[in-house]
Each structure stands twice: as C-alpha cells, then as structure tokens.
Structure 1
Amino acid sequence: MIRTSALRRLYADNRAASAVEFALVVPVMILFLLGIIDVGRFIWNTNEVEKAVQIGTRWAVATDIIPGDDTANGLKNYSFAISGAVPQGDVVPVSSFPGVTCTSTSAGAVTCTCKAACSFSTVTTGDSFTNLVGRMNQIYGGISNENVQIDYDWSGLGYSGDPFGSDVDPLVTVTVKDVAFRPIFLAGIFNFGLPDLSYTLTMEDGEGDFSN
C-alpha cells in the first residue's frame, strides 16, 4: 500500500516538467537556428561569388588576352589580314574566330582550346589566368583555379589588320562553378556547392597585367 501511494505521488509530481520539456525543445531550436544561419551564409557567399565573377570579368577584358599570351602568333598579336587571309579592314568572320575556352587544373596548368579549328596560337603560360583568379580571391577566398572558366566568343567587333591592338574584340565570359559550401548544420554530412555563376563583357584593350 505504501509503495502504491509513493508511486502515485511520483506520478502526480510535475515539478520537473518544465525542465524536461525544455530539454526536448532545445535541440530542435538549436538545429532551427543553425539552419537559419546557414541560409544566410549561403546567400551571403553567393553574393560574394557573384561580385567576384563581375570583378574577374572586368579584369579579363582590361588585361592581357590569355590565349597565346603576348606571342607573335597569339590572339592578342595575330594578324588575320597577314596570316588569316581576311581582307584588311574587314570584320573577322566567326569561321576564322570560332571562340576559345580557357580552363585550369588544381595544379595551376592552364589550357586554352579553340571551339573549332583556328589558325592562331592558344598556348599560354597561364600567368594572366592566375592573376585573374587571384583578383577574384580578394573578393571571395574560396575560388580556386579549377573553379574558373574563361570563354572568348565572337562578337563581330574589331577588324582584320588592326594596327593598334587585337583584330577581334570578343565577348569575354568568366564562369565560376563547383565552389564548395559547407553548412554548419550537420557539418561533415552535407557539403554542397554554391550555384554556378557567369558574367560577360566585351573586350576592351586586352593589354596589361593589372586592372582596377
């Protein structure tokens, strides 16, 4: 009888009910809070990468053209009038300039490849590419060489035999892709990427190794 009475009193005792409820709710609240923080971090980092892409594109159109670097047969100095059979003063056709894509490995090796057959050199030291990525890293430090792709596409601007610069003024597109984002919430389990972002400008002078 005494044991039954004691059990009834224990069952009716609710003095620790608030503590138990709090212990049950707190983990959910913490996870919810971490989720809100991660959403904010994701949006913030996406905006940083977007700004880095814009700055990188501005750098690309105002500094040395990457394909061929500064060699005589590179895109910067190549004469479509002398070597490409395009009449002096004519717009370089897309068949002569099909576009070039430049990418890099994690080791820093940069490769530029024509999107179709082209007569100019695309061999590059990679210095201009590395400088561009370095400028982007000043905006967002999580961008590596292998995350960046630079495309030079035909725009119809420029003319064959231009004595003051490149014969073509291509559309330059800088794309950043596969940038990792590691959330605080369940860190180590989920590790997904930021969205791929790109920005395009028309080539300006295409000379020099620094741009504001």
Structure 2
Amino acid sequence: MNRPVLLRRLYADKSAASAVEFALVVPVMILFLLGIIDVGRFIWNTNEVEKAVQIGTRWAVATDIIPGDDNANGLKNYSYAINGGVPQGQVVPKSPVSGSSAFPGVVCTSTNAGAVTCTCKASCPFTTATTGDSFDTLVGRMNQIYAGIAPQNVQVDYDWSGLGYSGDPNGSDVDPLVTVTVKDVAFRPIFLAGIFNFGLPDLSYTLTMEDGEGSFSN
C-alpha cells in the first residue's frame, strides 16, 4: 500500500476523536467548576466576616473600654468634671471650650506581634496606654465567627457622639460611637491552585457605647 493511501486512511480515521475532544474540554470544565466554588467561598467568607464585625462591635460597646483599660486615668475612669474642667452634668465637647478638656476620639490597632496601640485623634486628657487584654478578647470573640481574623486586621474607633455627661458616677463620662473595622483579611482561592491571594472586602459596623465595662456580651 502506497503512502498517499495510508495518509488518506489516517486522515479519515475518527476512532480517537472523542478522546481528544474530551482531553481538550476537561481542563476548561475543571477550571470553570473551581471558579464557581471560589465565588461561593468568597461570598460565604464575606458574610462570615460581616457577622464577626457585628458581633465584635456589640462586644466592644458592652465590655471594657480599650483605651486605658482599668487605669484610673483611662477613658473609662477619667473624670472630666474633676480633672477636665467641664462642669458636672454638661456634655463633654469634641473640641476644647474655654480651657476645658475635650474628647476628640481614639483609634486602637494591633500588630501581628500582639502589641496594642491606642492613639488620640487630637490632644486628649486621659491616658490611652493599654495594659489589659480587652483588645485581644474582642478579637477572640470575632474569631469564634471567622477564624481568619488576626489582631492586625482589626481597628476600633471611638468617636464623639454628644452623648454622656461630665462627672457621670455610673460609667464613662462619654458614650462614644464605637466602630469596629476588619480589613486586609486574606482569601486564597482554589482556582489556579491558590497561586493568587485575594483579599476580602473591608467591613465595619458602628454602635453607641453602652456601659463600657465588663467581660462578656451576649
């Protein structure tokens, strides 16, 4: 049999066509399937983080105030009436008025080594040094909802709300707006064998401070 005849028969032979087509289509189908799974995981994890932020904020307003912890000169115990020049019974201002002290707001963050730092957004009269574990306890509560939240992913802001009054004998002189933000949480997709590491969206939630003391929140 001459060569042209062999070539014509080989060209006309379709016996392995299905196997070749299957080999070409399967990788695309697998990648498509993994992509669908990753979209579902991304949405699920985002919802978990959102719930963790809500639970964390509830925890933050119902348990110990973080800036200053239980320090006698910390935010929780500082008296604007005695030490801050704000007449008892009046709302603590956001900015100093007639030489009186004010509450400009505080932001608390942590490093991956666990060091917690609280910084006033302007000059404030109380200490912000954190000596307790209130921040770590907050992160631990959030981890019960989503374990991928690390201390460095969490930021807690205390902002002026106009609530509370100077000389309050039953708690902090200010009842700030407390905002818990979770940011830079990693998300590693299955797609492309996890080569790329995408981040979940930054999420935050705000509530008004309640008693600001205690160690548990429902």
TM-score when normalising by structure 2: 0.96
Q: State which of 75, 98, 106 in structure 2 corresponds to 1:100.
A: 106
Q: State which of 184, 193, 202 in structure 2 corresponds to 1:178.
A: 184
User: 1:187, 1:53 → 2: CA distance?
Assistant: 29
Aligned-pair CA distance for 1:188: 3.9
% identity of equivalent residues: 87
- Give the equivalent residue in structure 1 for 2:98: none
User: 1:119, 1:40 → 2: CA distance?
Assistant: 48
Tell me how large the CA RMSD over aligned residues is.
0.8
- Give the equivalent residue in structure 2 for 1:80: 80
Aligned-pair CA distance for 1:187: 3.0
User: 2:40, 2:171 → 1: CA distance?
Assistant: 45
Deviations 1:179-201 (A, max 9, x none): 00000011342111000000000
Aligned residues: 212
Q: Is the 8 A contact 1:109 1:126 kept in 2?
A: no
- Give the equivalent residue in structure 1 for 2:151: 145
Gap regions ≥5 residues in structure 1: none
- Give the equivalent residue in structure 2 for 1:2: 2
TM-score when normalising by structure 1: 0.98
Could you say what secondary structure the match of 1:158 adopts?
coil
Aligned-pair CA distance for 1:6: 1.4
> Which residue identity is paired with 1:167?
D
After TM superposition, which residue ranges in structure 1, 4 or more long, deviate above 2 angstroms?
none
Could you say what secondary structure the match of 1:186 adopts?
helix
User: 1:205, 1:179 → 2: CA distance?
Assistant: 30
- Give the equivalent residue in structure 1 for 2:46: 46
Q: 1:37 to 1:126 in 2, by over 3 A?
A: farther
- Give the equivalent residue in structure 2 for 1:22: 22
